[in-house]
Structures are given as C-alpha cells and as structure tokens.
Amino acid sequence: MPKPVIFALAPEFLARDGLTETIQPWEDSLRASTGRGAFEWWYFDAHFDDGATAVIVYATKPIIHPAAPLTPNLSLTVTRADGMKTAEFDLPPAGEFRAAKEACDVHLGASWVKWAERGGRWTFDLHAETRSMSADLTFTGLIPPWRPGAGKSYFGDLSHYFAWLPSIPYGSVEGTLTYDGEKHMVKGTGYHDHNWGNVALPSVMDHWYWGRAHVGEYTLIFVEQVALKKYGSTRLPVFLLAKGEQVLADDARCLTMEARGFVRHAGGREYPQEVDFTWARGREQVRLALREPKLIEAVSLLFGLPKWQRPLARLFVNPYYFRFNTALALEIELDGLRDSVRGPALYEIMMLR
C-alpha cells in the first residue's frame, strides 16, 4: 500500500508552524537544521533589460545529499544575451556559513543576502562572489509573498517534509554583474523563493516541472510535481495567477499538465518541446501553452557530490536539471474576466531519479 502524501493546506497546519495568512519576515530565515538529514536553499533569478540572465543560489548542502554535514555552497550562473553561459561555484568551509532566524540574513564565505522592508515592499540586497564573477543586486518584490497553505508537503507522516516559500513571486532587480573582466550595470525583473526540508528529495520525488512568468498585468507560478511510486505517484501541483496584487486563482487541485514532443539531450535525458498547463474549475479556465523552449542550463545533479562518489552514484541514478526560456501564450476565461496575452516565461525540469 502506498505511503500517504499530506498537503499542509488546512488551518491546523498553519497553527502547527505558528503561521498566519500574512507571511512574516522570519519565514524566509533559517528554517531547517544545518546538520545531517536536512537541507535548505535560497534561490534568486533575474532577467535583465540587456538580455542577460543570472541565477544565484545559497545552499547549506547539495540538493540530493541531505545526509551530508553542513556543506555550504553558492552557485552563480550568468547567461549573456548571445546565449553564452558561465556557471561557477564557491564552496567555503562550514565555519564560514551563518544565517539568522529572524529574517533572511545569510552569509556564505564572501557572499551574503539580507532582507529589508522598504516602502512597504520586501527587498533583498545580495552579494555573490565566485572565482571570476560577482553580483551585487537588489531584488524588490512587486507582488507580496505568497504560499499555498503552510507551504509544506509531508511524506508518510508529519515528521518528514519538503517546504517552499516564494518570497518574491515577481519583482524588480537592479545593481551590477561582473563577468568577462568587466562590471555591467543591470536592471530588470526577478524572482526569489526559499526551500527547505528533511527528506532526501530523490527518496520521495520522481520529478517536477516548475515555471514562472509575468506577462502583461499577470504573474504566474505553475508547478507539476510527482512523487515516487511508493507514495502512489501522487501529484503535488502548485498554481498562482495574480493580476497586480490580486490573486485570481490559486486552487492547485484544478491544475493539470501535458508534455509532448520529447527530444534527447546529450546528457542522456529527454525534455519536451511543448508543455501545456490547464487550470479548470467548472466553466472557468486558464490555459498556459509553453512553446519554443531555449535551453539555458542542463546539468547532472551528481556534480554536487564529491568526484569520487559520482561514478558509483551514476550506476543507480541519473538525476538531471534543465532550465529553459520559452514563449508563453496565456488564455484566461474567468467569471468577469476574459483575456489573452503572450510573453516570455522561464521553467525548469528536475528529474531526481
């Protein structure tokens, strides 16, 4: 009999974690143990007006190895307007990691990120530094923080969980990026979320598709997660459609996804050329068509392990991560609202097995 997956949506789950409907700054602070058995990361991505993109992740350990001791790592990926990508990592000693529990205030070697509230909006100032690149950016939330229920899924029982908080579903970004030996003034849009838990994701999750977009007046987050067979291959969808600061739809039970036109990547895994998300409740529908994906990152998650462990791990699993820029066609048919807009979106595929 499959083990249950428990969605922390009901009010009792908010009470269990001391949460309210209004998200507080401490929720983006250090939430999990840094010892063996737990993991945590703070993710930021930005699309700049000059066509470049940046992804910055502060983490306590590799995503697929929560049993490791504290192994702080920072990743900085810059993709230039012409598509050329550089990804670098910094792996400082464990003693050079610290994080507050009152709000996001994370220090990892020479890199750091810190929360502040300015003009009623959540902001994050960050510095990320690797061997040949650096980022000094300020992210400002234009959409308030949001989470589905308590933002947790429990696996098997209420002691094993994976949690997620999109602190900036959509925001502005400005500052400087240093790459190719030059400092570049940048300005654009961005996103920030925070993940933590105490289960090895490959032990509970098979894969996920996660995406975000801001097109016209609309902000979207759309997720299809599928648990392992021992958890009944349970779907764990997430959905947010907001217009300005007004949430129009966020009942993820109404979301389905279809992917087709798969092509094989040199890393041995496949990804689709077409992805459709459909949110349907009665006569209301929201349709998302993702087309013409442009691959901006493809990496084996085994690179997060020490070199001597990779060949052995590869005998059993081939976890892989893809990230794409894509064209999005959004069709909205809600009570009192009919609209159709097109624009860019970003989505990722995480294959954990």
Q: Give the pLDDT score at 302.
A: 54
Asked whether residue 38 carries a pLDDT value surpassing 80, the answer given is yes
How far apart CA 165 and CA 191 sit, in angstroms, is 11
Q: Give the pLDDT score at 65.
A: 78
Q: Give the pLDDT score at 63.
A: 74
Q: Give the pLDDT score at 347.
A: 93
Per CATH, 1-199 and 202-353 having the same topology is answered yes
What is the CATH number assigned to the segment(s) 1-199? 2.40.370.10
Q: Give the pLDDT score at 317.
A: 53
**The CATH number of domain 202-353, selected from 2.60.120, 2.40.370, 2.30.29, 2.60.40:** 2.40.370
Q: Give the pLDDT score at 344.
A: 92
Asked whether residue 9 carries a pLDDT value surpassing 60, the answer given is yes
**Residue among 330, 315, 309, 294 nearest 62 (CA):** 309
Q: Give the pLDDT score at 266.
A: 85
Each residue of 253-284: b (16+ CB within 10 Å) or e? ebbebebeeeeeeeeebebbeebbbebeeeee
At 314, the pLDDT band (50, 70, 90 cuts) reads: very low
Work out the average pLDDT over 316-326: 79
Work out the average pLDDT over 25-51: 96
SS3 341: strand
Cβ(59)–Cβ(196) below 8 Å: no
Q: Give the pLDDT score at 128.
A: 98
Asked whether residue 318 carries a pLDDT value surpassing 80, the answer given is no
Asked whether residue 312 carries a pLDDT value surpassing 80, the answer given is no
Work out the average pLDDT over 47-52: 93
Q: Where are the domains of the chain?
A: 1-199, 202-353
Work out the average pLDDT over 290-303: 81
Asked whether residue 341 carries a pLDDT value surpassing 50, the answer given is yes
At 189, the pLDDT band (50, 70, 90 cuts) reads: very high
Relative to beta strand 97-99, strand 85-90 is: unpaired
At 327, the pLDDT band (50, 70, 90 cuts) reads: very high
